[in-house]
Amino acid sequence: MILYDPKLTAVYRDYGILLPISPSRGDKILRFLRESGVFWETFDLPGAACRLEVPEPVISRADVERVHQADFVAALYQGGSGLSAGLIEAWELRDSQGRPNRYAPDQAVKPLEDLFAQVLGQIRGTYLAARLALTGDRPPEPPGRAPGFCYYLGGGMHHGRYDHGTGFCLLNDIVIAARKLQAEHRAERLWIIDVDAHKGCGTAELVQFARARGELGPGQDLGNLSIHMAEGWPLDAETLRNAPPDRAPRIPADVEIPIAPGEEDRYAEALGTGLTELETRFPAPDLAFVVDGADPYEHDGLPSSGLLRLSLAQCMDRDRLVFRYLRDRGIPSAWIMAGGYGDRAWEPPAHFLAALADPSRPNSPADDP
Ligand SMILES: [Zn+2]
């Protein structure tokens, strides 16, 4: 099934933020699926909460504090200047001299602080996607080999770090959702498979901190894999120079797969090897999150993702590989749309979902390998 809530799609220009993030990406994906004649059961967030009988608020402040530093969370919830400062840092709206960076506050038609509600909504979506996947509904699959699957057209704030936001990510929806599922004992073991172009630096930090502080219960774990550009943000020289050795982005994921420029042809093989390593080190999980960024796509519009340039076919190979890997092991999965910039960022997830829903399409992930 698909989870989508157009009301939670931030139109960044409304806040004066000048980023190439298309507000209509989810709409374009759904339109493509309709025009392709494939059917997906689709929920908005209230519909999903109602179906799952999840009471509001779905995500509480305590859920956020379970993962992020208390003072940082308090500043955000208090609003005012603390919240503004947190948002400006996360979206990098000022340079080191305090000058606007990709930011035109005089063009804003909405207060910047309103973005916080959008962020909380994205966390809610990621959590609900996981809950929907755990209900066991599925794409058309042969009986007996159809673990639950939900694709959320939102979320993926994998740069959200312990005590601050960065890389357009204020808070880390993936780890917040994962830890909430564990606290509720709906899933004890989880995997986070991050195939966004950028290293899932906040996720790696938060998982390591939770482990080091003994916050995971008996039998609980979070195994994480990140396959990403070997160079460029957040692994560029300046960001690394400013990072203490025990903080993101220096902390590696459990399975860390850097792909150097020009190595696109080895991407699928490296991902397959990484999944095998993840499985070797961590027992089969109750649920996997797949952070399915489209920014490795060669037509992505963000300059900082240009060091990895997968073709549409290679993006499909990537998604097909992860999907089959999880399906064949009976592992439910919540897919989070994550990064993707410019006018063509809708294409990789749209083609993947179309092929998944219609096994008769060529290269469908749902057909047999
Ligand atoms: Zn990214």
The domain locations on the chain are: 2-357
Q: What is the mean pLDDT of residues 6-24?
A: 85
CA 277, 281, 284, 290 torsion-angle sign: negative
CATH-assigned architecture of domain 2-357: 3-Layer(aba) Sandwich (3.40)
Mean pLDDT of 317-345: 95
Residue 247 has pLDDT above 70, yes or no: yes
Q: Determine the pLDDT at residue 96.
A: 85
Binned at pLDDT 50, 70 and 90, residue 361 comes out as confident
Average pLDDT over all residues of the chain? 93
pLDDT for 369: 42
φ/ψ (deg, to 5) at 362? -60, 140
Is pLDDT larger for residue 87 or for residue 9?
87
Give residue-wise pLDDT tens across range 267-313. 999 999 999 999 999 999 999 999 999 999 999 999 889 999 999 99
- The predicted structure's pLDDT at residue 358: 84
Query: Quick check: 161 pLDDT over 60?
Result: yes
What's the CA-to-centroid distance between 350 and ligand 1, angstroms? 18
CA of 197 to the centre of ligand 1 (A): 5
Burial group, residue 149, by CB count within 10 angstroms (0-12, 13-18, 19+): buried
Ligand 1: centre distance to CA 340 (Å): 7
- Cα 45 to ligand 1 centroid, rounded to whole Å: 24
More confident residue, 119 or 23: 119
Order of strands across the sheet that contains 149-152? 42-43, 2-3, 149-152, 333-336, 287-291, 189-194, 221-229, 255-259
Ion ligand 1 residue ranges (Cβ < 5 Å): 196-198, 293, 295, 339
Nearest to 123 by CA among 84, 181, 42, 163: 181
Query: Is the predicted pLDDT of residue 9 greater than 90, yes or no?
Result: no
Could you tell me the distance, in angstroms and rounded to a whole number, from the CA of residue 272 to the centre of ligand 1?
20
210 Cα: distance to centroid of ligand 1 (angstroms): 23
